[in-house]
Amino acid sequence: MKNKNEKEKQFLDSYDSSKFEKPSVTIDLLIFTIKDNQLHILLVERDQMPFQGQLALPGVFVGIEESLEEAVKRGLKQKASLTDIYFEQLYTWGDVDRDPRMRIISVSYMALVPFSQLLSSAGEQNIEQNLYTVESILAGQEELAFDHRNIIAYGRERVKNKAEYSLIGFQFLEKKFTLPQLQLIYEILLGKQLYKANFRKKIKPYVVETEEFVSTGANRPSKLYLQASTNKK
């Protein structure tokens, strides 16, 4: 890829070049986790204008020699020391004035991570103080930079929708978990209570029981399960 700039120039010369002034492309990350029985998202406080002091999604510019997925992985690592977690593309935001400085097109991705993993990965830095409940953000209780509140609302909807028909809930748990834990995850994502017996009937084909139990006080211990087939690393 030596002559790339030359090739590009030649290519663009056949167009009205003013029309193809290029926008910047960034990745915005919606890193969701579940803490204290609530859906939380990782935000950073902006230390410069515009929107200085307000909360924003962690983001990175997409490098000219890296794919979108590579940029996402780099962002997850740089902003939250996370590797090997689940993520998926959400939506691409391209309104002209969404960033007052310059034209920025943002590809949003959501990542789901168990709270314990988020804590242990972060190491020194106190990442916990950068977690905010999605509920409070959508209720307008926090000042959000750019169009980030809308992006979070979009991500919240995606999570809720996928909780209806997919195994997305597993992403918030460690490899081994109990069915009451899993049910609670789904209840938080869906925003409603579920019937124990029905939940278990539905989830049964996707879990395999172990011989281990966990005890949480003065009651019957709960059996530990693993996710079936589709192995979680």
Cβ pair 78, 59 in contact under 8 A: no
Residue 134 to residue 115: CA distance in whole angstroms: 15
State the DSSP code for 144. B
State the DSSP code for 100. S
Partner whose binding site includes residue 175, from DNA, a second copy, none (CB under 5 to 8 Å by kind): none
Query: Contacts with DNA in 148-207 (CB under 7 A)?
Result: 178-180, 195-198, 200-202
Cβ pair 105, 26 in contact under 8 A: yes
Distance of closest approach, residue 82 Cβ to DNA, in angstroms: 28
Distance of closest approach, residue 79 Cβ to a second copy, in angstroms: 16
Strand-pairing partners, residue 209, are 225
Figure out which of the listed residues 53, 63, 191, 221 binds a second copy, where binding follows CB under 8 A: 63
Q: Which residues make Cβ contacts (< 8 Å) with residue 35, sequence separation at least 6? A: 115, 128, 131
Figure out which of the listed residues 23, 53, 191, 221 binds a second copy, where binding follows CB under 8 A: 23
Figure out which of the listed residues 48, 219, 229, 231 binds DNA, where binding follows CB under 7 A: 219
CB-side neighbour CA atoms (13 Å) of 98: 20
Asked if 47 touches a second copy (CB under 8 A), the answer is: no
Partner whose binding site includes residue 88, from a second copy, DNA, none (CB under 5 to 8 Å by kind): none
CA nearest to 112, candidates 42, 204, 10, 182: 42
Asked if 67 touches a second copy (CB under 8 A), the answer is: yes
* Total residues interacting with DNA, rule: CB under 7 A: 20
Interface with a second copy by CB under 8 A: which residues? 4, 7-8, 11, 15, 19-25, 61-69, 71, 89, 91-96, 101-103, 105, 107
